[in-house]
Amino acid sequence: MTFLLGLTGSIGMGKSTTAAMFRAAGVPVHDADAAVHRLYSGRAVAPIEAAFPGTTADGRVDRTRLGAIVLGNPDALCRLERIVHPLVRAEELDFVGRAAASGAPIAVLDVPLLFEAGGEHRVDAVVTVTAPAAVQRQRVLSRPGMDAAKLDAILARQVPDAEKRSRSHFLVDTGHGIARAEAQVTGILRALAGRFGHAASHRDSRPARPA
């Protein structure tokens, strides 16, 4: 069976860049954020409009309008998650089935809120992408439309980086350049090659995190 590797990391840590490294190494990757983008112009539009009137237009969800409602509003965020999470999960299951059918030894589930949603129980090992806090803030605050208040609101609903690191089997630190991060990804794949060949059939037996 295919070994499932969960890939996560807080905003601005370089998770998307790391996911691209796994893809470049030939590992199939399911991107939960990309799935949400597809759903926001597809199956999620009608239920989101029903729950949050005025947040869709021209057959797609207006992420700016929706974000203005749910950011900092836990009740609204929970309502949104009850709509979106099952749809994303269905796409994830389809991806896992296709990866297994293709004979892929390893597949990556790229899930930003893996720990927050309890998704670590659906994978065989977890990779957390990390970087120094100062680097993280500099990256995020350079994005259009982002400010310190928005960043703090986002971080408030994410498991702290230190806790994510302590609960993970592998780390990729993007704070010291691309080459070093790529070497870490290569090291993870080497560690997994052959070592966890039968782990996917024992999903409750977590491999110990390498020292």
* Residue 188 located in a structural domain: yes
* Residue 207 located in a structural domain: no
Identify whether residues 63 and 21 lie together within a single domain: no
* Residue 172 located in a structural domain: yes
What is the full DSSP assignment across the chain?
A: -PEEEEEE--TTS-HHHHHHHHHHTT--EEEHHHHHHHHTTTTTHHHHHHHSTTSEETTEE-HHHHHHHHTT-HHHHHHHHHHHHHHHHHHHHHHHHHHHHTT-SEEEEE-TTTTTTTGGGGSSEEEEEE--HHHHHHHHHTSTT--HHHHHHHHHTS--HHHHHHT-SEEEEGGG-HHHHHHHHHHHHHHHTTTTTTGGG-TTSPPPPP-
**Residue 20's pLDDT band (boundaries 50, 70, 90)?**
very high
Mean pLDDT of 7-18: 96
* Residue 208 located in a structural domain: no
Q: Over 80: is that where the pLDDT of 200 sits?
A: no
**Residue 1's pLDDT band (boundaries 50, 70, 90)?**
confident
Percent of the chain scored above 90 by pLDDT? 82
Q: Which of 72-76, 178-182, 193-197 is modeled with the greatest confidence?
A: 178-182
Per the prediction, the chain carries an average pLDDT of 90
Identify whether residues 192 and 113 lie together within a single domain: yes
**Residue 194's pLDDT band (boundaries 50, 70, 90)?**
low
3-state SS string for 77-91: HHHHHHHHHHHHHHH
| Residue 3 belongs to domain with CATH number | 3.40.50.300
- Quote the domain boundaries for residue 145: 1-28+106-202
Identify whether residues 92 and 152 lie together within a single domain: no
Identify whether residues 114 and 24 lie together within a single domain: yes
* Residue 146 located in a structural domain: yes
Mean pLDDT of 59-88: 92
Tally of domains within the chain: 2
In tens, the pLDDT along 108-160 reads 999 999 999 889 999 999 999 999 999 999 999 999 989 999 899 889 889 99
Identify whether residues 120 and 143 lie together within a single domain: yes
* Residue 34 located in a structural domain: no
**Residue 195's pLDDT band (boundaries 50, 70, 90)?**
low
Identify whether residues 64 and 142 lie together within a single domain: no
Identify whether residues 62 and 136 lie together within a single domain: no
Which of the listed residues 52, 83, 103 is the one where a domain comes to its end? 103
Identify whether residues 155 and 76 lie together within a single domain: no
The reported pLDDT for the residue numbered 210 is: 41
**Residue 161's pLDDT band (boundaries 50, 70, 90)?**
very high
The reported pLDDT for the residue numbered 72 is: 79
Identify whether residues 18 and 115 lie together within a single domain: yes
Which of the listed residues 103, 126, 154 is the one where a domain comes to its end? 103
